[in-house]
Amino acid sequence: MVLSAGALALLMCFPRNLSALERVSFAAVLGFGYTAGAVLVRGIQAFAARPDPWADIALFNTDIQALYAISIVVFGFNCHANVVSVFYELEHYPHRLISQLPAEPTDYHTLGPLAPKPYTYKLIGMLGAILSAQSI
């Protein structure tokens, strides 16, 4: 199971553009949702199980247990490194995520007073990313 999940994750590292990954975005959102829910449930359980929940809480942990945070930090750095390439691609193909969005920034000025008015192609791509994430 772990080997097949690792192989699947490795295969998703090779595509050259976002359109190759469009089918796995729903699975990624489900995975993040599951992880956030599991952390929330386990955190509430741990919090409720202690008589004084704030006892033994330190601002900085300087023993060997602090190494557990390395994976979180590495994950964060990897995500930030990918943001640049994602938004670079969205700048050149702003309507890639949602094809119904107008492709030109000037087309948004006639949509009415409540519609967003992106002034650059990159903002159109960001609008598409936000709308596609909300529609899942």
CA–CA separation, 100 and 64 (whole Å): 52
C-beta of residue 115 within 8 angstroms of C-beta of residue 89: no
Distances (CA, A) of 70 to 6, 43, 63, 73: 19, 20, 13, 5
Instruction: Note the pLDDT of residue 38.
Output: 95
Instruction: Note the pLDDT of residue 85.
Output: 65
Classify 27 as helix, strand or coil.
helix
C-beta of residue 1 within 8 angstroms of C-beta of residue 80: no
For 27, the token pair is 């699975």
pLDDT in tens, the chain (136 residues): 788 877 877 777 777 766 666 666 677 778 888 999 999 999 899 888 888 877 877 777 788 878 888 888 887 777 666 666 666 666 666 566 667 777 777 787 788 788 777 777 777 777 777 777 676 5
Burial of 91 (0-12, 13-18, 19+ CB in 10 A): middle
Maximum CA pair distance of the chain? Answer: 60
As a whole number of Å, the end-to-end CA separation of the chain is: 26
Cα 61 → chain centroid? 28
Angle between helices 121-134 and 70-92 (to 10 degrees): 120
Q: What's this model's pTM, rounded to 2 decimal places?
A: 0.39
